[in-house]
Structures are given as C-alpha cells and as structure tokens.
C-alpha cells in the first residue's frame, strides 16, 4: 500500500512571520497524524527558516525549484546539494508555471530530474495538459510525452522513489478542479505507462493530483485507487485548511487498506 503524500506549494507567497505562523499551526494540528506523508515547499529564501521551525515534526521540507548544476558560475541559482544540505526532501520540477513563465523545456526538466537523483532528493515531476489539449483529447499523449522525456534519457530506474504530480494546467489556481473520475483515468494511464517498463516501480510510484484542491473536493480525489496524494497551491497558505486536507487524506486512504 502506498502511503499518501500531501505537499503544499506556497509559490511566491509568505514572509518570515507567515512562515512562523503557518508552521506553528500546522505542527500543532498534525501532531498525531499517521499514515500520511506531508511536506511544505516555501520560497527558497525561507527554506532554512522553515526547516528550523519544522525540526522535530513529521512535516518534511520541499522546494519549488533546483538548478541543473551542482556548483559554479551560475549567478542566482540554487543547487541540489544546497537543498540537500539544508534538509529539503521533495523538489518540485516541471511545474507548468515554470514551463510557461521561464520557458523550461522537457530537456531542461530532464537535467533537473537527473541532478536531484545524484544527491538522493525526491523529484516531484509535474506534468499535465492545457485546456486546448484537454478539449482535443490529447491529455494522455501529453502526459506520456512528458514522462518519456525522462524515461528515454534516464531510464525507468530513475523513477524509483519519485513522485509524479498530474496537474491539468487549466485546473491550477482557477477554482475549477478536474473531475475525480477523469483524473483517476489519467493516473491509471500514467501508472500503466510506467508498468510497461517496470511493474514494481509502477506500483510504488506516488502519483499526486494538483489543481484547485481544497477541503471540499480532496476526499473525492483520494477515494480513487490511483490518486495517491495531492499537490496543493492556494489552499496550502491557510494552515488550518492545509492540515484538514492532510487529515482527510490520511482517513480516506486508511479506509482503502
Ligand atoms: P492550486 O495550485 O492548488 O492553487 O490550484 C496547485 C499547483 O500549482 O501545484
């Protein structure tokens, strides 16, 4: 049985006080949570501060980006070794906002995936189609294409101990989440695509859904067999709401055992 995973992606939000407030409430709310892995991914500049507040809790630290180099003359970048050094665990790559606003290509994302694996950090590979691709029935082809970029370059073993986050672009930050049954179909497709190369990895890989997840819809996603967790944006900025999402995830998945 896969342990559910809930990650809060804070995006470009927060300040020192918010980091302190949110983590204090979350720690308190999630003190006794079992059977659910939880992480938060604050902005880079607050990672070390967040880590200090998370010390001794079950909430892991995530990051929203990584550079493709480990060190050197790359002004403004943050390396996988640095993320490892400050205690991050899950690193979000391939997010549609970076693909769109920073023109990140699949080839570039492959390099990020590869460098994370060299230092044993867990890539959270975001994939997903835009609205036009969704309407024209290309969802599975887009997901396969984005996964194949990694598979073709790094091989199936690279997917050991990793996370895929299926995030339909039209559902991100819009309040218009995808239909849970539809998401289940896509997740099943993703898992069977991985299974063609390695059945054990396909059974172990965590496939999250992301896109306007909130307290009211999270259970409908997590009752689905192949939805192992959620990547939460906006709703992760309210500590009580995020904690409630985690509690629902733990309860819903515990019933599936
Ligand atoms: P959202 O963002 O929950 O605000 O839709 C999700 C994401 O971008 O990961």
The residue to mutate among 94, 170, 231, having the most atoms of ligand 1 within 8 angstroms of its beta carbon, is 231
| The pLDDT of residue 14 | 98
233 CB near ligand 1 (under 6 Å):
yes
- Tell me how far the alpha carbon of residue 234 lies from the centroid of ligand 1, in angstroms: 6
Return phi, psi of residue 227, to 5°. -100, 105
Q: Does 176 belong to an annotated binding site? A: no
Q: Is 167 a catalytic residue?
A: yes
The CATH number of the domain where 66 resides is what?
3.20.20.70
Residue nearest to ligand 1 atom 7, measured at CA: 233
Q: Does 211 belong to an annotated binding site? A: no
Residue nearest to ligand 1 atom 6, measured at CA: 233
| The pLDDT of residue 96 | 98
211 CB near ligand 1 (under 6 Å):
yes
- Tell me how far the alpha carbon of residue 35 lies from the centroid of ligand 1, in angstroms: 23
pLDDT at 257 over 80: no
Residue nearest to ligand 1 atom 1, measured at CA: 233
Return phi, psi of residue 91, to 5°. -120, 120
In which band, very low, low, confident or very high, does the pLDDT at 79 lie, cut at 50, 70 and 90? very high
Q: Does 173 belong to an annotated binding site? A: yes
- Residues 127-157: tens digit of each pLDDT: 999 999 999 999 999 999 999 999 999 999 9
Return phi, psi of residue 181, to 5°. -65, -40
- Tell me how far the alpha carbon of residue 48 lies from the centroid of ligand 1, in angstroms: 23
pLDDT at 43 over 90: yes
Kindly state the average pLDDT of the residues 50-57.
Answer: 97
Q: Is 95 a catalytic residue?
A: yes
**pTM, to two decimals:** 0.98
- Residues 182-217: tens digit of each pLDDT: 999 999 999 999 999 999 999 999 999 999 999 999
Q: Does 170 belong to an annotated binding site? A: no
pLDDT at 113 over 90: yes
Please classify residue 133 by burial: count the beta carbons closer than 10 Å to its beta carbon, then call 0-12 exposed, 13-18 middle and 19+ buried: middle
- Residue-range definition of the domain harbouring residue 104: 5-254
pLDDT at 48 over 80: yes
What is the chain's mean pLDDT, rounded?
A: 97
| The pLDDT of residue 22 | 98
215 CB near ligand 1 (under 6 Å):
no
Q: Which two tokens stand for residue 119?
A: 């230092």
| The pLDDT of residue 1 | 80
The total number of structural domains that make up the chain: 1
Which of 250, 239, 229 has its CA nearest to residue 33? 250
Residue nearest to ligand 1 atom 2, measured at CA: 233
């Amino acid at each position: 049985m896969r342990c559910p995973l809930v990650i809060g992606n804070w995006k470009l939000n927060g300040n020192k006080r918010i980091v302190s407030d949110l983590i204090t409430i979350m720690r308190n709310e999630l003190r006794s949570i079992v059977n659910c892995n939880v992480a938060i991914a604050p902005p880079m500049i607050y990672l070390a501060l967040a880590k200090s507040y998370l010390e001794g809790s079950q909430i892991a630290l995530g990051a929203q980006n990584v550079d493709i180099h480990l060190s050197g003359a790359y002004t403004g970048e943050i390396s996988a070794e640095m993320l490892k050094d400050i205690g991050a665990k899950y690193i979000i790559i391939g997010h549609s906002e970076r693909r769109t606003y920073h023109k990140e290509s699949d080839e570039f994302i492959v390099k990020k995936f590869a460098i994370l694996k060299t230092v044993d950090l867990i890539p959270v590979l975001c994939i997903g189609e835009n609205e036009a691709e969704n309407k024209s029935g290309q969802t599975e082809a887009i997901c396969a294409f984005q996964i194949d970029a990694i598979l073709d370059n790094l091989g199936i073993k690279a997917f050991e101990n990793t996370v895929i986050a299926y995030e339909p672009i039209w559902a991100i930050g819009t309040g218009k989440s995808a239909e849970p049954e539809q998401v289940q179909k896509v997740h099943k497709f993703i898992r069977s695509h991985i299974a063609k190369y390695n059945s054990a990895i396909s059974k172990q890989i965590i496939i999250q859904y992301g896109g306007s997840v909130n307290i009211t819809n999270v259970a409908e996603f997590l009752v689905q067999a192949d939805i192992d967790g959620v990547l939460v944006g906006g709703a992760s900025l309210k500590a009580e709401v995020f904690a409630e999402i985690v509690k629902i995830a733990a309860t819903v998945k515990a019933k599936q055992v």
